[in-house]
Chains A and B, each alone.
Chain A
Amino acid sequence: AQSVSQHNHHVILSEAASLELGCNYSYGGTVNLFWYVQYPGQHLQLLLKYFSGDPLVKGIKGFEAEFIKSKFSFNLRKPSVQWSDTAEYFCAVISTMDSNYQLIWGAGTKLIIKP
C-alpha cells in the first residue's frame, strides 16, 4: 500500500541545534513531495515542495529538504533551529498517477525547541 513514514514522532532540541526530520515514502512511480508545518493553534502551512529538477529544495524560514530517489526519502533540514520553530511537521506525497492529486500524509513529527 502507498504510505508515508515519518520516523520520529517527537523531537526535542535546544536552540541553535541542527535539525533533520526523516520522511520515507513507498510509491514506485513519479511523486511530488511536500513538507507542511502546523504551529500551535494554527492551520497547516506549506513549508516547501519538490516536483522536479534540483533535488535540494529550499523553503521558508531557512528550511530545506533533499529528495533522494534511490532511498525514497525527502528529509527536512535546518542548520540552526529557533524557539519559534516549535511546531508539528508533516511530510506528504502526491503520486502523479493519481489524477485527483490526493495528498498522502505521514503521521507528523512534533518538534519542541527548548529556549
Chain B
Amino acid sequence: DTGVSQNPRHKITKRGQNVTFRCDPISEHNRLYWYRQTLGQGPEFLTYFQNEAQLEKSRLLSDRFSAERPKGSFSTLEIQRTEQGDSAMYLCASSFDILRGYTFGSGTRLTVV
C-alpha cells in the first residue's frame, strides 16, 4: 500500500466552475477526513466519514461543497461555483486506529482565477 493518494495534485479553474477532487485512503482505514489548508495556517477541518457515513461537517463547508464516500473506500470532494476564496490546499487523511495517528495525502492545490 502506497499511502493516501489524492488526485489531481494541482487544479487551476476559472471562477464559477465546478471542480471535483478524489482521495483514495489506505485500504484498511475506515475513517476519512477532508481538511483545507491556506498559506500560513494549520489545516482546517471540513468533513469526516466513518466508512460510507458522513458523520460531521464543518460550518466552513458551505452548500457549494459536497463530499461523498459511496462505498466506504475512495472519497470525492466537489466544489460548485468556485470562488477565489476557495483557493487552498485540500488535504485528505485516513485513519484506522487513532493511536497510530492520521496518514495524510499530498493534497490537491486549487487555484481559482
Interface residues of A (CB under 8 A from B): 4, 9, 32, 34, 36, 42-46, 49, 51, 90, 92, 94, 100-108
Question: Given known contacts A9-B40, A107-B42, A108-B40, is B101 in contact with A101 (CB within 8 Å)?
Answer: no
Q: Quick check: A100 and B42 within 8 Å, CB to CB?
A: no
Provide the bound-state CA to CA distance between A51 and B81, in Å.
42
Q: Number of contacting residues on B, CB 8 A?
A: 25
Beta-carbon contact of B55 and A100 below 8 Å: yes
A59: min CB distance to chain B, Å: 11
Residues of chain B whose beta carbon lies under 8 Å from any beta carbon of chain A: 4, 31, 33, 40-45, 48, 50, 55-56, 91, 93, 95, 98-99, 101-107
Chain A minimum-CB-distance residue to B56: A100
Q: Is the Cβ of A92 less than 8 Å from the Cβ of B106?
A: no
**Complex CA–CA separation, A107 to B41 (angstroms):** 5
Q: Is the CB of B45 within 8 A of A103?
A: yes
Task: Out of A49, A90, A104, A105, name the residue touching B101 (CB < 8 Å).
Answer: A49
A20 and B16 CA atoms in complex are apart in Å by 45
Q: Which of A44, A46, A51, A102 contacts B48 (CB 8 A)?
A: A102
Q: Would you call A101 and B91 a contact (CB within 8 A)?
A: no
**Top 5 closest A-B pairs, CB basis?**
A105-B42, A44-B104, A43-B106, A46-B101, A101-B98
- Closest residue of A by beta carbon distance from B107: A43
